[in-house]
Structure 1
Amino acid sequence: MIELLLIRHGETEWNVEKRLQGHRDIKLNREGLRQSLALGRRLIDEPLDAIYSSDLLRALHTAQAIATPRGMNVQLEKGLRERCFGAFEGMIHPEIDARYPEDYAAWQRRDIDARYPSGEFHAETLREFAARTLECVERLANHAGHRRIALVTHGGVLDTVYRRATGMGFELPRNFDVLNASINRVTWDGSNFAIVKWADVSHLAHASLDEIDHLQ
């Protein structure tokens, strides 16, 4: 049995604006940096065999805030990237709806095989994205010698693992939280995931963040 700490990256300006990020390489904003420092302090005494991260900066910088105080390296995994949304990336919902109404409708009804128009990058279908991310997470979990690892990633990846663990269909709307800088504890027994604790952001309490500010 291995424990996975699935961690969503800290906040970005595009998170605040509700602008779709996907494969766009958006950095953490000031709040996201504070969140990451608080996250690193929360996990400083927790044994970890490895720290893996998406190669996008918002995840990597979050992972480095965990790894650096521990003297550990971050191992990059492109398979932990967010889903690529093609031409949707960089836009907010009303803009997508206005420009691509049929594709937007397919997104909102969670059509698992819908492929959106290409933009800077070629869009993935939801089915392709789920297969890609689950293969990556399971491969890392099955690595010999691992007992507890941290995977710093994106909201879509957390959504996929949660659905796999609970048997929740991709066609159903999300009814669980996927929060910036949250710790989501999941076990893997070689065949199945199980949720231990989800959406833990207790380390982001105002007092903790204020303390971080005084240390900078």
Structure 2
Amino acid sequence: MQDKVTRIIAIRHGETAWNVDTRIQGQLDIPLNDVGRWQASRLGKAVADEGISAIYASDLIRAYETARAVADSTGCDIVTDTGLRERHFGAFEGFTWREIEERWPDESERWRKRDLSFAPEGGESLPVFYERCVGTAARLALAHVGQTIALVAHGGVMDCLYRAASRIDLQAPRSWQLGNASINRLLHTPEGFTLVGWSDTFHLDDAGLDESNDKVGSAA
């Protein structure tokens, strides 16, 4: 069985200024702030001896900058994959949660209720996003059976991986954390994902802003 298992270290990017402002980033290219760069540095040191064979990252700069710290500590190259991007929030991107409530009250309510048929104008619905990022993670895992890989992505991607590994419905409220620069451990086999450990921030003296929200999902 061991030769059919891929060990996955799934990592959310470090903190950005927009995380602090609760501003929806989606697929806008927002860099890490000073705290985020410090978090990434600590993260890189924490996974240096994990036996990572490959690093895959979203091509958005906040994830790539975080992955760079992992690459520096492990000697692995970074391969970017757009399938690991955050959910596309369309018209919502660039606005705070409060601004979205004020500008689009009806759409905001559907978003908060995790309406599976809802997609912000120009953006993705939850099912489309879920299939994209979980499918990408499975594809990458199958390319490294018997190895350990790092996936560096976003809060929404982490949320989907947690749901896939825990068999939790997309509409269920979130009760788990999505800390910046957290280490999340999964296994992948031909049967799918299983959860090993979640939101490990032992490497941080002060955990980054948790952008999770039971009602609306992450925008990181």
Task: Provide TM-score, normalisation by structure 2.
Answer: 0.89
Query: In the alignment, what sits opposite 1:155?
Result: 155
Given that 1:82 and 1:157 are in contact with CA atoms closer than 8 Å, whether structure 2 keeps it comes out as yes
Displacement, 1:69? 2.9
- The alignment's C-alpha RMSD in Å is 1.0
CA distance in 2, matches of 1:43, 1:115: 36
Find the aligned partners of 1:72 and 1:171 in 2 and give their Cα distance.
Answer: 37
Residue 22 of structure 2 is aligned to residue 25 of structure 1: no
Is the counterpart of residue 139 in structure 1 residue 143 in structure 2?
no
Query: Runs (4+) of structure 1 moved beyond 6 Å?
Result: none
> Secondary structure of the residue that 2:203 maps to in structure 1?
helix
Contact persistence 2:57–2:63 (CA under 8 A): yes
Task: Find the partner of 1:14 among 18, 23, 37.
Answer: 18
Matched positions, count: 202
Matched-pair contact (CA < 8 Å) for 1:49–1:146: no
2:98 paired with 1:94:
yes
The answer on whether the counterparts of 1:20 and 1:91 sit within 8 Å (CA) in structure 2 is yes
1:205 aligned onto 2:205: yes
Q: For the structure 1 residues 146 and 25, does the alpha-carbon distance in structure 2 shift closer, same or farther, using more than 3 Å as the test? A: farther
**AA partner of residue 205 (structure 1):** D
Structure 2 gaps of 5+ residues are 207-220
| Distance in 1 of aligned mates of 2:25 and 2:14 | 13
Q: Equivalences for 1:165-184 in 2 at 5 Å?
A: 165-184=165-184
Flag the structure with higher helix content.
Answer: 1
Contact 2:9 2:186 in 1 (8 A): yes
1:214 maps to none
After superposition, give the CA deviation of every residue in 1:138-165 in whole Å (9 maximum; x if it has no partner).
0000004551100000000110011111
Q: In structure 2, what is the Cα distance between the partners aligned to 1:73 and 1:167?
A: 32
Residues 62-71 or 7-16, more deviating: 62-71
Q: Percent of counterpart pairs with the same letter?
A: 43
What's 2:9 paired with?
Answer: 5
Q: Measure the CA separation in 2 of the matches of 1:188 and 1:107.
A: 30
Contact 2:28 2:93 in 1 (8 A): yes
CA contact (8 A) 2:52 2:74 kept: no
Structure number, greater radius of gyration: 1
Gap runs ≥5 in structure 1 = 207-216
SS of the aligned residue for 1:113 comes to coil
Contact 1:10 1:62 in 2 (8 A): yes
Give the Cα separation in 2 of the matches to 1:176 and 1:69.
28
TM-score by length of 1: 0.91
Instruction: Return the match for 2:41 from 31, 37, 40.
Output: 37
Equivalent residue number for residue 112 of structure 2:
108
Secondary structure of 1:170's counterpart equals coil
| In 1, Cα distance between equivalents of 2:145 and 2:164 | 24
> Hey, what does 1:211 align to over in structure 2?
none
Offset of residue 15 of structure 1? 0.4
Cα distance between partner residues in 1 of 2:132 and 2:44: 28
